[in-house]
Each structure stands twice: as structure tokens, then as C-alpha cells.
Chains A and B, each alone.
Chain A
Amino acid sequence: MSLLEVTDLTVSFPTADGVVRAVRGVSFGVEAGRTLGIVGESGSGKTVLTQTLLGLTPGAEIGGRALFDGTDLLQLNDTQMRDIRGARIAVIFQDPLTSLHPLYKVGWQISEMIQAHDKSVSKQQAHARAVELLGHVGIPRPERRVDDYPHQFSGGMRQRAMIAMALALSPQMIIADEPTTALDATVQAQIIDLLLRLQQESNTALIMITHDLGVVADIADEVMVMYAGRAAEKAPKRDVFYTPHHPYTKGLLESIPSSSAAGGRLKPIPGSPPSLINLPSGCKFHPRCGYVLDRCLTEEPSLRLVSEDGFHTSACWLPLQAAGLGEQAEELRAETVREGRGEAAEQVYEAEIAEAVGPEGSVAG
């Protein structure tokens, strides 16, 4: 039994323009001491997914189950959720400036949270704990910086303060939503280093949401790639990077500039992500997929096992063995396309090519 076990979670928002189907049936588990990386582009539903777990999506229609240490998070009322949020599940957001209150001292904000969850802690004790935490996350001279306001901190220090706050009540799980995206590369490295060290010390479960495959390669144990509100592929980290099965995962990896092909042409994924109000039929990736089959236009695939070890799952109709970036896998994919692509899919594919071809006939995709 994992610490967190999410089953068939759906989240949709009724709006004037129609229903935004942000998350459409996602299941995953996270165990203590492990890191799950959730990767996806803007609009893939990765942030809504985790905010829903914490009761931060008012007005949404929510379905499914999310068992955290035996309690279904989706069934809690506000008071019950407040006891869990912050204390047992902590969150670190992308932008540390907007998630700290500008008019209160950093130390006050940390001790306020400690006292809110445990009334028996005195003001002095909470303050002392705040100093200790700031020191722990690497803020220099914490006994003095504890009385600074957020604007007196640099971006990296603010993110450290957010992490200190997240750690204040020794949570069992931390959800980090793009925690390093707003930071410079050298500071990003510091923060990732810090998160890894803290996780090892306290055996915390970590959910890392990011669009940066580099961060995932660094920090995750398992990876879930999301596209249009669903998991496209879910697997241990090495499988995702070295033997991706879903064409979207493969496309993402191939579109990153790499040292081996500097100056050459990149291989982008044609088109752009779909609107969550007006989703395509069948597999939601089919209008951008180079391996589109007739079947993909009408039937949406679910996650299924593609490896023998029983961990690598992918939501794609391509044969199970068609995983990886090598020639053999590519041949198998080509063969499947020859057999499974009829006239309808051929039209979709030609539209993609038209999108990817430059005006002078240079193929961009």
C-alpha cells in the first residue's frame, strides 16, 4: 500500500464556454521516500491534479479516489483538510514571491504556521523552530534573517524559505509544483540538491511537477507523462528516457536540443496541445502523432503494460514491443503504420505534414 494511492481521478470545471475537462481519469501511487515526477506541457492538467488532492480547486466537479495513508482526501471537509494540508502534505509553489505574504516577516510566517497546527507551542518555541528551519535549508545567519521581510530575500532564498515552511511540521509528503522554474540555473541546482538531501533525511514522499525533463532526469524515481488530462506514459525513470513507448514522450525527448546534434535541425512535435473544452476524438494525441492509425481516431487507449517487469505502462495502440528510440522499434512502428493506417488516418497524417512543412518545402517535423 502506497502512502498516496490515487484511483481514476477526474476533475472538470463548468465554464460559460463549456466544460473544461482538466483531468480525465488518472491513477498513480507514491511511496514514502520516493519521488514521482509529473511531466507535461501547459494545459496537460498536472497542476490541477495536485491542487485537487489538496482541496484547492473550488467549483470543480471531482470524481475518483485519493487515499492518503488510508484517508480519502476527496471526501474531507474544509476543517479536516486544513489539518492535513501543510502538516502532513506540504506544498511548494513555483513563484516564491507570490506565495509569501509581503507584509509579514518571513520568520513570523513560519511560526504562525507551526502554531496554527499545534496550539501547545509557545511563541518563543515557534520562533526558535523557525530559526532552526531557516538554518537547515541554508539561509545564512538565520537568527538575523528570520526578522526580514520577503522582499529582502533573493529569489533563491525565498524558495528556501518556502521549503523551510514546507518542512516545518515534518510532512509525510511534499508536492513541489515547478519549484525551480523561476530560478537561475546555478540556484536551481542548489534547490534540487537541498530537496534531495532533505528527502533522504526524513524519508518524505515527493511529487515533483515540472515541464523540464532535465529536472526529472535528476530527481525522479518514477515518471508520469501527462497529455490533455491523462497519463500518456508512466514508468520508472530510465524506461521513460531510454525506452519511451508513447509517441508523445518520444517526441518530447527528441525535440530537446542536445549536444550531439548542435546546429542541426530539431525535431519538434507538429501542432499544439488541444483545447480542454473541445478535445479531439479517440486518442487525444492523434492530431500531432506521426504514427496515427485508424484505430486512434475513434478509440482512446488506456494505460497498459508494455514491459515484462510490470512497471512500464503506456496509453498507445502501438504494439507493446514498439518501445525505445532504436531502429528496431522504429521498424516495428513503421510496420504497424503500414497495416493499421487506412484512408481516414492518412488524411490526419497529411494535415500534420502540411503543418510541419515550411513554406519552401523544408520539413520542420
Chain B
Amino acid sequence: MSEPQAGAGTASTPADAAGDDLVRVENMVKYFPVRTGGLVRRTVGHVQAVDDVSLSIPRGKTLGLVGETGSGKSTLARCVAGLIPVTSGRVIFDGRDITNLSRGAMRPVRREVQMIFQDPYSSLNPRRRVGAIIGDPFAIHKTSTGGERKRQVQELMERVGLNPEHYNRFPAEFSGGQRQRIGVARALALKPKLIICDEPVSALDVSIQAQVLNLLADLQRDYNLTYLFIAHDLEVVRHVSDSVAVMYLGRIGESGPRDPVYRSPRHPYTAALLSAAPAADPDTAAARQRIILTGDVPSPIDPPSGCRFHPRCPKAEAVCGQQEPPLEAKAGDVATHLTACHFPVRAGENLAVAGRSEPT
């Protein structure tokens, strides 16, 4: 895991067997201090938003990051994008260590890492014209001006399925789906290598959601883009991802190639999430054994000891509260399918019976 530090700008040590990872996150930790109010501000604790997370995304592929509110998935994304500094650990992007770079050193990297945000209503300045919004990246990075910039912006608009003649309109004149296309065009402007999509379709209606997902798939194919795709909708993640990582309270509970994780989840939390996701099919819904977890996600300021999932886990035993399970391949799984659990779910095991107790 910990190779010698590769200096910024130099070629990295060929670390991985797979070799061509665009992004590698190594043992990332991100704590936010919790301070008291008043004159003397003392730090009384930390929100352990991301705690020792490692993952990698091969070039041109999509990693789906799944987790509930407070699981740390958005914090992880922001750390990868360099928007907030990490507490410890490393982010390797395209062979370079970009962890906590200075603003100046980060600048060229920012062209290659772009974000698409969840809410197409609040992520676009309502008082600026669409052409100016999409043209911002060109202005900030001083890559083009005037008529040249306008031509580039209109090309982008056409590429994402917007009418280039609407260059002078305001965001309010577009529907939700079209606004999300504006966000995509802006992210695409500087020909990035990595696009971090933070819940890009959750605010859209289903019929529109499919339009945007198809667009993202086309762009990935045409420009060999790499996506870090965050969503809470498991069907959407299954649709777009090559591999999946499931986060719970700042840690990865399970990760691996899409199909094994979805077909035979080994972590009880993954199994519960998959069973809880509503299926748009009455017979499936009726036949399914839903695992109803008890309680809510605990506070990341004071996470449970041992396995963080143990207070809600239908399979928990004494050891789960004492020892943190390592993230490792379990017997019978492919080597890339990793699970952090002392008692991984076996094929055909029915957790619903154990889980369907009185809510606590």
C-alpha cells in the first residue's frame, strides 16, 4: 500500500498490477474538529467523516460510491477533488501525488478533475447567462477569449444536447434536466480526465434521469472519461458502475466489481441496503425478504467501537464490538471483492428473519 513518496510532477512508481489506475486513494483520513462555542474555542472531538479509506479507479472506468447520509461519501469526493485538505493519507492522480497541494500547484490538476453537483438549481448562478457559466473554465484558466470562447461554448452546448442558440439565456429558462446538462457542459469544458459526479441525477424526474445517464455514458465512451459516481440510488449505481464501494460511517464496508457485489453481497449492510431498495416490480417486491435494520446511522463524532455497523447488524456477536474487521477478500470471492466483516453473509442466508425484530 505505501510506496515511496512520488514527488509531484515526476513519474510514479509502477505500483499496481493493474497498472493503469487514474486515481488511487491510500489510507485517506478526514476529521473535522468539533469546537465549543464561546471565547476560548476548544476542540472537543472530531467528526470522523472518512476514516482510513483506500480505493482506486482504473482509467476510463466508473467507480460507484454508495452510502447513506453521513457515510462520508461526499467528503471523500471533495478530498479527491482537492477542494478540502485531507487529515492524512494520499491521493494519487494520474501518477502524481496531489495530496494537499498548494493552490498554485493544484491549479493545473483542477483542469483535469471536474465535478458535477446534485442540485442543478443551486449550482448555477441564476443571474449569469448560460454562455458565461459554461465559458467560466476557459476564462479562469485563460485558455481562450472572445469569439473563440463563444464557439467552444456552443460546441459544448451542442455536445450535451442543448440548443447552441440558447447561449444568452438564463438558467431559470431551462428545465431541471437541461440545467444538469449545463453543469455537465461546464465540467467538460477543459477536457478533464476525471469527473466526480455527486448525486448527478437524484434531483431529476425518472424520465429525465435516463436522458442524463445516457449522456454521461456517451461522453465516457467518446472521451475515455473516468467517473467517481456517488449516488444513493442502488439501481442507478448498478447501471453506471464497473466497480462499487459501499461506505458506512466513514469506512468502506464492501467493495469490488459490480456484479459480484450486487449478486452476492457479503457485508450485512450491503445486503440490507440491496434488500431495502424499492424494486419497481410488484412481484419482486412481494417475494423479497426485506432486511429491516433497526435504528439509525450513529453519529460520526462518536462512532461505535469495533465494526461500526455492529449496533444495527442482525449478525453481530461480541467480537464485532471489540475488533474492527479488516477489509479483505473472503473465501470463495474474487480477489478484488473485499469485505470488512467478521461474519460475512453466506450464499442463500436469510438475514430478514434475524433482522425483522421490534424497532429500537
Binding stretch for chain A, among B1-9, B100-108, B230-238, B318-326: B230-238
Q: Write out the residue numbers on chain A whose beta carbons fall within 8 Å of the beta carbon of B126.
A: none
State A273–B176 Cα separation when bound (angstroms): 10
Q: Does B292 sit within 8 A of A, measured CB to CB? A: yes
Q: Write out the residue numbers on chain B whose beta carbons fall within 8 Å of the beta carbon of A155.
A: 69, 296
Q: Write out the residue numbers on chain A whose beta carbons fall within 8 Å of the beta carbon of B358.
A: 138
Q: Does A359 sit within 8 A of B, measured CB to CB? A: yes
State A239–B3 Cα separation when bound (angstroms): 59
State A257–B231 Cα separation when bound (angstroms): 13
Q: With A237-B282, A257-B213 given, is the CB distance from A41 to B292 under 8 Å? A: no
Whether A268 and B211, one on each chain, are in contact in the complex, defined by CB atoms closer than 8 angstroms, is yes
Q: Write out the residue numbers on chain A whose beta carbons fall within 8 Å of the beta carbon of B272.
A: 186
List residues 36-83 of chain B with CB under 8 A from any CB of chain A.
68-69
Main secondary structure on B side of the interface with A: helix
Q: Write out the residue numbers on chain A whose beta carbons fall within 8 Å of the beta carbon of B134.
A: none
Whether A257 and B293, one on each chain, are in contact in the complex, defined by CB atoms closer than 8 angstroms, is no
Q: Pick the residue among A186, A188, A253, A267 that contacts B280 (CB under 8 A).
A: A253
| B183, chain A: closest CB distance, angstroms | 16
Q: Write out the residue numbers on chain B whose beta carbons fall within 8 Å of the beta carbon of A273.
A: 175, 205
List residues 215-272 of chain A with CB under 8 A from any CB of chain B.
215-218, 237-238, 241-242, 251-253, 255-259, 261-263, 265-270, 272
Q: Write out the residue numbers on chain A whose beta carbons fall within 8 Å of the beta carbon of B236.
A: 257
Q: Write out the residue numbers on chain B whose beta carbons fall within 8 Å of the beta carbon of A217.
A: 278-282, 284-285
Q: Does A32 sit within 8 A of B, measured CB to CB? A: no
Whether B207 and A214, one on each chain, are in contact in the complex, defined by CB atoms closer than 8 angstroms, is no
Q: Write out the residue numbers on chain B whose beta carbons fall within 8 Å of the beta carbon of A140.
A: 295, 359-360
Q: Which residue of B lies closest to A210 (CB)?
A: B278
State A213–B295 Cα separation when bound (angstroms): 25
Q: Which residue of B lies closest to A255 (CB)?
A: B210
List residues 192-234 of chain B with CB under 8 A from any CB of chain A.
205-211, 213-215, 217-218, 222, 232, 234
State A273–B207 Cα separation when bound (angstroms): 9
| A142, chain B: closest CB distance, angstroms | 12
Q: Write out the residue numbers on chain B whose beta carbons fall within 8 Å of the beta carbon of A138.
A: 358-360
Interface flags for B246-283 (1: CB within 8 Å of A; 0: not) read 00000000000010001000000000110111111111
Whether A218 and B206, one on each chain, are in contact in the complex, defined by CB atoms closer than 8 angstroms, is no
Q: Does A211 sit within 8 A of B, measured CB to CB? A: yes
Q: Which residue of B lies closest to A41 (CB)?
A: B205
State A42–B121 Cα separation when bound (angstroms): 14
Q: Pick the residue among A185, A258, A364 that contacts B68 (CB under 8 A).
A: A185
Q: With A262-B239, A268-B211, A272-B208 given, is the CB distance from A188 to B360 under 8 Å? A: no
Q: With A185-B68, A217-B285 given, is the CB distance from A211 to B214 under 8 Å? A: no
Whether B206 and A157, one on each chain, are in contact in the complex, defined by CB atoms closer than 8 angstroms, is no
Q: Which of A154, A194, A211, A218 has the most CB of B within 10 A?
A: A218
Q: Pick the residue among A189, A251, A256, A266 that contacts B214 (CB under 8 A).
A: A266
Whether A266 and B290, one on each chain, are in contact in the complex, defined by CB atoms closer than 8 angstroms, is no
Q: Does A347 sit within 8 A of B, measured CB to CB? A: no
Q: Does A79 sit within 8 A of B, measured CB to CB? A: no
Q: Does A83 sit within 8 A of B, measured CB to CB? A: no
Whether B273 and A186, one on each chain, are in contact in the complex, defined by CB atoms closer than 8 angstroms, is yes
Whether A263 and B205, one on each chain, are in contact in the complex, defined by CB atoms closer than 8 angstroms, is no
Interface flags for A178-218 (1: CB within 8 Å of B; 0: not) read 00000011111110111000000000000000011111111
State A252–B209 Cα separation when bound (angstroms): 11
Binding site for B on A (CB under 8 A): 41-42, 138, 140, 154-157, 184-190, 192-194, 211-218, 237-238, 241-242, 251-253, 255-259, 261-263, 265-270, 272-273, 358-360, 362, 364
Binding site for A on B (CB under 8 A): 68-69, 158-159, 161, 175-178, 205-211, 213-215, 217-218, 222, 232, 234-236, 238-240, 258, 262, 272-273, 275-285, 290, 292-293, 295-297, 358-360
Given contacts A213-B278, A251-B207, A266-B214, 12 further A-B pairs with CB under 8 A are A41-B206, A138-B358, A140-B359, A154-B297, A156-B296, A185-B232, A185-B273, A189-B292, A192-B278, A211-B205, A217-B279, A263-B240
